[in-house]
Amino acid sequence: MKKKKQQKNYLDLIPERSPALTWSSDEEGIIVLEVENTGVFNRIAQKLFKKPKVTKVHMEKYGSFLWPLIDGGRTVMELADLQKAEFGEEVEPLYPRVVKYMQIMESYHFIRFKE
């Protein structure tokens, strides 16, 4: 009999930013992540197709609010509650939205969750 894989409760997880990423804030408060394009295929693309060595990822206002708060100490639920306090009903449905944001950020290796 197969064991059931226990699902993560994302609201209880503690995210932390990837130390490999550099980031800044523009004049409007939007966070800009700088992702270095490394590896053999990226080097080839940089030489042949003039692709940049660093890709800049511009976040929207909700992600820009959350990004500096991801400190490796707050849970996803705490971060969501801070976002709710800042934006109110504008961010509803709150928890599914923040969980999806965290899943996307994890899939791009921008964050990881503490064990």
Tens digits of residue pLDDT in 94-105: 999 999 999 999
The answer to whether the predicted template modeling score (pTM) of the entire model surpasses 0.85 is no
Please choose, from the candidates 73, 68, 109, 71, the residue with its C-alpha nearest in 3D space to the C-alpha of residue 86.
68
- 74 phi/psi in degrees, rounded to 5: -100, 145
Give me the residue spans of the domains in the chain: 15-113
> Cα angle vertex 91, ends 88, 97, to 5°?
145
Cα dihedral 42, 45, 47, 50 sign? negative
The domain defined by 15-113 folds into: Arc Repressor Mutant, subunit A (1.10.10)
- 86 phi/psi in degrees, rounded to 5: -80, -45
pLDDT in tens, 5-33: 667 789 999 999 999 899 999 999 999 99
